[in-house]
Amino acid sequence: MLLVSGVLGAALLAGCVGTPSLDGTARAPSFSALQGMCGASPVDYGADAQSVYSAFYDAYVAERRGGLSKERFCAFQVVIAERYRAYRANPGPETQSAWANFFLDQRARALSWRAAVDPTLRAG
């Protein structure tokens, strides 16, 4: 129960954290640029694109501020892309649920990486 509460709390907090649009801004890279940082072909996440971008952006902030290595940042993207492809290859209620649970865990992980290096995410 605590794990579920923690994940849901992180997901709710993530909605409060500013994330640029998929096109990026003058200070934030676009979704395709974030994916391109690791040399892989961009993945079309469809309806999940904004949520995945939010996770990638939080991990990017952590990476830019020294709280995450580039290797871990890229591995994070690869794992999400692989799981998303597996979900899309066999869509159905069970795989959708597995994808959602997996992604919530990854979103919470990215948010915790960012919170460790971004003082605006720490309550004081």
* Cβ neighbours, 10 Å, residue 46: 9
CA–CA dist 114, 93 (Å, integer): 31
pLDDT at 41: 86
Burial class (CB in 10 A: 0-12, 13-18, 19+), 39: exposed
Domain definitions of the chain by residue range: 2-121
pTM above 0.85, yes or no: no
pLDDT at 87: 94
Helices 49-64 and 93-117: crossing angle, nearest 10°? 30
pLDDT means per 10 residues, the chain with 124 residues, are 43 50 66 90 92 95 95 97 95 94 97 90 59
